[in-house]
Every structure is written in C-alpha cells, then in structure tokens.
C-alpha cells in the first residue's frame, strides 16, 4: 500500500462515491458505484457497500491499495 494522502472537503461530510471521484481513484459515478457495491472500499477498516455513505473529516478510505485521509479544507472568501 502506498503512503496515505489527504483530500480536503469544503463541507462537514461528502458522499463516498463523490470522494472516490474527487481523489481520482475512479473515473466516474458508475465506476464508484461498482467498486463500492463489490465491497472493494474500506472506511476506517470496515467494508462499506453504499456509495452514499457520508464520509467525514478524520475518516480513512481505502481502495485499490490507496489510502485517503479526509480533511476539512480552508475556505477563503
């Protein structure tokens, strides 16, 4: 597994499918749905099968050997 990297989100949470796209781990929503429903995605070490699952800052998402740590981004303006 590669070193974890962070993804910043603007709001208090983001749907799992959106996060996978934002992190460039999948190309589109259809791919996100497929990998999540196939049980290929872990959130905090647990398999998640709903792409609408809300992911919050501090949670760790794993897929295809990649580890994403979600953080709240700063909003300027």
pLDDT tens for 60-76 read 999 999 999 999 986 55
Structure tokens belonging to residue 7 = 């993804």
CATH for 5-72 (3.30.70.20, 3.65.10.10, 2.60.120.920, 3.10.290.10): 3.10.290.10
- Give CA separation, 9 vs 14, 23, 39, in Å: 7, 11, 24
| Mean predicted lDDT score pLDDT of the chain | 92
pLDDT at residue 77 tops 50: no
Looking at residue 18, what DSSP letter applies? H
What is the value of pTM for the model shown? Answer: 0.89
Q: What percentage of the chain reaches a pLDDT higher than 70?
A: 94
DSSP code string of the chain: -PPPEEEEESSS-EEHHHHHHHTTSSSSHHHHHHHHHTT--EETTEE---TT-EE-TT-EEEETTEEEEEEEPP---
Task: State mean pLDDT over 4-9.
Answer: 92
């Amino acid at each position: 597994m590669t070193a974890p990297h962070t993804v910043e989100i603007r709001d208090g949470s983001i749907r799992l499918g959106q996060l996978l796209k934002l992190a460039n781990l999948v190309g589109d929503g259809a791919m996100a749905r497929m990998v999540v429903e196939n049980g290929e995605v872990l959130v905090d070490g647990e398999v998640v099968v709903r792409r609408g699952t809300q992911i919050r800052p501090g949670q760790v998402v794993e897929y295809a050997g990649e580890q994403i740590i979600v953080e709240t981004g700063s909003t300027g303006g």
